[in-house]
Structure 1
Amino acid sequence: MASKSLKLLLALTFGVFLTFGTKSLYAQENPAHTEGEHAEAEFNAGETIIHHVLDSHEFHFFDMGDFHATIPLPIIVYSPERGLSVFSSSKFEHGHAAYEGYKLEENKIVAVNADGSVNEEAKVYDFSLTKNVVQMFIGVILLLIIMLNVAKKYKVRGADSAPTGFQNAIEPVITFVRDDVAKPNLYGKHDKYLPYLLTVFFFILINSIIGLIPGSANVTGNIAFTGILAVVSLIIILISTNGHFWGHIFWPPGVPFLVKLILIPVELLSIFIKPAALMIRLFANMTAGHIVILSFVSLIFIFGQMSTVAGWGFTPVSIAFSVFIYLIEILVAFIQAFIFTNLTAVFIGQSFEAGHAHDEHGHHNEEIFL
């Protein structure tokens, strides 16, 4: 009961934060004109939503007048003409100022001339730590802390002792991944692949949960992040293949010759389509949730442009829907971690299975989740 209350409080805080955070951002991007002039610029929901979803060089929490609650991140850039430069992203003043010959334009660091114009000829190699990268490191550290503490308890108390504390939350998840993901799909080789599957599951889950905290980065909604996970899975799938697998790829049995000519390129493409599906599925689902929440919040300002009363009147409705979707996103974080891990296990199992019965079982699992 206490856990549900905590989640509800966190979700409500998130909704309120988005409401006023979006309002302050809108006010910042559309400042008042000179004295005696009052012009209200049109609210652009698309730009505001993309601003929150995309990566950046700082953690932005809220604005209050001229005060910006942010955590600047280090800028590390190298140019053959200018050498190495290391400084804080706060020097850019949220994209309004240049520093050491560099400027932030559309969240990209570019070289500028003395007059502030962009230097198209200068090459810039950006090694900066963005909020996605920093948060991913935080996710790795949390994963290590959690797992090492749980492993230490098993080492001290023994594997046969009843779990205590945080073990009660972690052990059922580990057992679930082993019994319902690894064993049914890896045909006796589950112990070999279980460490990777558990790492992928908890890494995706931790980063997805952290991404729901106001002001944090949507790491699992970044195509580069999901792409790297998919590439790692592809490498493991290819390493696990055997002659039976490649025989089915280059010479599908039981089909006419002309059909083989069609199936061979299709089967070759399927090797890369499978991890691509993993990449796009995770990226799309995690990004969509954040966009839906921000869309409900943006409705406040869209109605507010019609009428101030309508804007304030719709605020409770918008926050209620935002809180509801936020709670759904907590569930989605677990579901997407499970689906990515389960499909990875299915694809690995298909790479070394050696029987028609196994083929049918693998394709059945694939159809369920795809």
Structure 2
Amino acid sequence: MKLSAEQLGSFLSREENLKPVFFLSGEEPLQMMEAADAIRAAAHKFGYKEREILQVDTGFNWDSLTMSSCALSLFSERKILDLRLSNSKPGKAGSNALREYVSKLPDDKILLIQTDKLDYRTKNTAWVKALDSAGVMIQVWKLSPAQTLGWIAKRLRQNNFQPSQDAVRFLTERVEGNLLAAVQEINKLQLLYGTGNLALKQVQESVSDSSRFNIFDLSNAVMVGNTHRVQHILHSLQQEGVAIQLVLWTLSDLSRQLYDACFQLEQGVNQTRVMSKIPRPRQQSFQIALQRLRQSTDWQDILSRNAEIDRLSKGQSAEGNKGVGRIWAGLLELALLLSGVNIMST
């Protein structure tokens, strides 16, 4: 059964809709996080009080899923098995384990699976089809500019604002598709103005009253290759206590966009078509980055650094817990790589 993220809230209001499997996939972190939170909250409401997290990384023993599905709770409580796939390809062992789980669904467990966006081939694999048939499959897409405009307007109204169209449009252009940043700005607007009518001037003043630098300044500095500014902005963001996940989302999203654009150009796609997918205010800076990175860029290194920083921020890296300082150092190295610096020579 397939649902959109928007349909999930009303669906979960009835206990009979609490299916044995919920499968979340996608690339937009806020919607993924909120969908998973909604499922866990509904499960808890209806008696699934315990939760076990299974993080699937290299070397994960899939037998642990089978053991967890059969294990009895010490307090006879029903349990959520929170399975987190580091990528959308679990391999042969994982595919078999997931199909086996579906064939013998436990009565006292809900399996919540979270993973990245599924490509076309993966969607048609036996394990994905088995999960879909056993429960609810929710694919979370990145929003288009028009959808982001509607999403921000709705979120403002949910927070008891009555925003003007100009206010919504300005905020939408400011966050450039980053819903985490949009929520951060809306929370700040609530602190400043409470509720009620929200005019363009109020949003502009809120944005200008924010930190000297923000994640959008960082993204632009990286694209134009201004390494001194990149270092200065990252230092300021760290001192101001900006959330690591917000900074990582910005750099990871930029990495994926640049990688996809370089790949398409290599495949002979017209540059005008490639650039049409980039918001107009960013196109000039994006083109500068594209010209710099098209040749001799080690994308495997860049993408693996993204993944490693993500694991470090969650305490799941093979390096162990290196502390917040190591995470910010990793973010700096990643930003400098995207800016055109050869890290090995620094």
Q: TM tier, shorter chain?
A: 0.3 to 0.5
Instruction: Give the structure with higher Rg (CA).
Output: 1
Normalising by structure 2, report the TM-score: 0.32
Normalising by structure 1, report the TM-score: 0.31
Larger % of helix: which? 1
Q: Which fold has the larger relative contact order, with Cα–Cα distance below 8 Å and residues 6 or more apart in sequence? A: 1
